Amino acid sequence: MFNETYELSNGVIIPKLGLGTWLLDDEQAAQAVRDAVSIGYRHIDTAQAYMNETGVGKGMHSCGVAREELFITTKVAAEAKNYDAVTQSIDESLAKMRLDYIDLMIIHSPQPWSEFREENRYFEENKEVWKAMEDAYKTGKAKAIGLSNFLQDDIENILASYEIKPMVNQILAHVSNTPLELIEFCQKNDILVEAYSPIAHGVILDNGEVKVIADKYGVSVAQLCLRYDIQLGLVVIPKTANPNHMRINADLDFVISDADMETLKNVEAIQNYGEHSFFPVFGGKLK
Ligand SMILES: NC(=O)c1ccc[n+]([C@@H]2O[C@H](COP(=O)([O-])OP(=O)(O)OC[C@H]3O[C@@H](n4cnc5c(N)ncnc54)[C@H](OP(=O)(O)O)[C@@H]3O)[C@@H](O)[C@H]2O)c1
C-alpha cells in the first residue's frame, strides 16, 4: 500500500494509507511514528486535540526519513471559531512539531465538541475559520487545507464563498457505518474523503458476519475493513502503536468483489462504541 496515493484538487499527492495517533501520548506517538516510518508509512494523522503533536514531531525528526518524504496532517481545534484563534493555533502546531509547514491542515469539526450536531451550525464562524485556513495556505504554512466531520450543508456553506476550495473532508466511515451520500457529494465536488476510525475504533473486530467475509479472502477483519474503504476511494488512517498491526494494515493486496462490497455496505450499524461512546464522534458528547 505504501506506494499508493491520491492527488488532491490542488495537485498535492497524499498516501492512501496513514497512521492514526488518537489516544497516544507524546512518548507513544513518537515511538509509533518511528516504527511506522521504518515499516514504510509516510503519512501520519494527528490533531491539536490529541495533545501529542510534540511527540509526533519528535518521531518525525528522529525517524531517519527526510521531512519532504513525510505527509503530516493536523487539525485545528473544534473550539477555535474565529480568525485569530485559528491562526494562533496553526502557529502553535508548527512550533510544537518544529515544522515550517504542515502537509494538510483541517478543521476538526464544524461545531465545538460540546455542541456537536446540535442546532447552532456555526455557519458564519466557519466562514471566518475558513478564511484563516486559506491565509495559512497562501502563506505556505499548509500545503493543503480541508475539513473534518462536515456534513453536506456545512460543506455547502464553505463552497458558497470560498477563495480556495477545501481539498478533503475527514469523516467517520467504516463497514456498518458508511455515509455513502456524503461521500458521493464530496467526491462529486472533488473533495477527497478520508475515513477515520476505519476499523470502527476496534469494535468491529469480533463481528461474526464481517469475519465470515474476511475468512473468504484469507485476511483479518481489520484488513477487510481497510480494503473496503480504499475500494470506495477513501484514505484510511487506522490507529495502532503495535508494529505488527502496522504491517498487517498495510498488507491490502486483495480485491473485494462487488457483491461482497454491497454486503459490507449493508452490515447492521454499530450502535455502541463501548467505553468510547461518550466521544462526540461516536454519538456521545464530551462535556
Ligand atoms: N477527525 C476526527 O474527528 C477523528 C475521529 C476519530 C479518529 N480520527 C483519526 O482516525 C484514526 C483512527 O481512528 P480510531 O483510532 O478511532 O480507530 P481505528 O483505527 O478504527 O481502530 C483502532 C483500534 O483498532 C486496533 N487495531 C488496529 N489495527 C489492528 C489490527 N491489524 N488488528 C487488530 N486490531 C487492530 C487498535 O488497537 P492496537 O493499538 O492494539 O493495535 C485500536 O484499538 C485516529 O487515530 C485519528 O487519527 C479522527
| Residuewise pLDDT in 10s, the chain (287 residues) | 899 999 999 999 999 999 999 999 999 999 999 999 999 999 999 999 999 999 999 999 999 999 999 999 999 999 999 999 999 999 999 999 999 999 999 999 999 999 999 999 999 999 999 999 999 999 999 999 999 999 999 999 999 999 999 999 999 999 999 999 999 999 999 999 999 999 999 999 999 999 999 999 999 999 999 999 999 999 999 999 999 999 999 999 999 999 999 999 999 988 889 888 989 999 887 65
- Residue 283 is predicted with a pLDDT of 87
Determine whether the shortest distance from the Cβ of 52 to ligand 1 is under 6 A: no
CA of 162 to the centre of ligand 1 (A): 32
Q: Which atom of ligand 1 is nearest to the CA of 221?
A: 32
- Residue 284 is predicted with a pLDDT of 84
Determine whether the shortest distance from the Cβ of 237 to ligand 1 is under 6 A: yes
Q: Whose CA is nearest to atom 13 of ligand 1?
A: 197
- Residue 87 is predicted with a pLDDT of 98
Q: Which atom of ligand 1 is nearest to the CA of 170?
A: 1
Determine whether the shortest distance from the Cβ of 22 to ligand 1 is under 6 A: yes
- Residue 286 is predicted with a pLDDT of 65
Question: pTM above 0.95?
Answer: yes
Residues forming the active site: 50
Instruction: Write down the residue that cell numbers 464544524 correspond to.
Output: 110
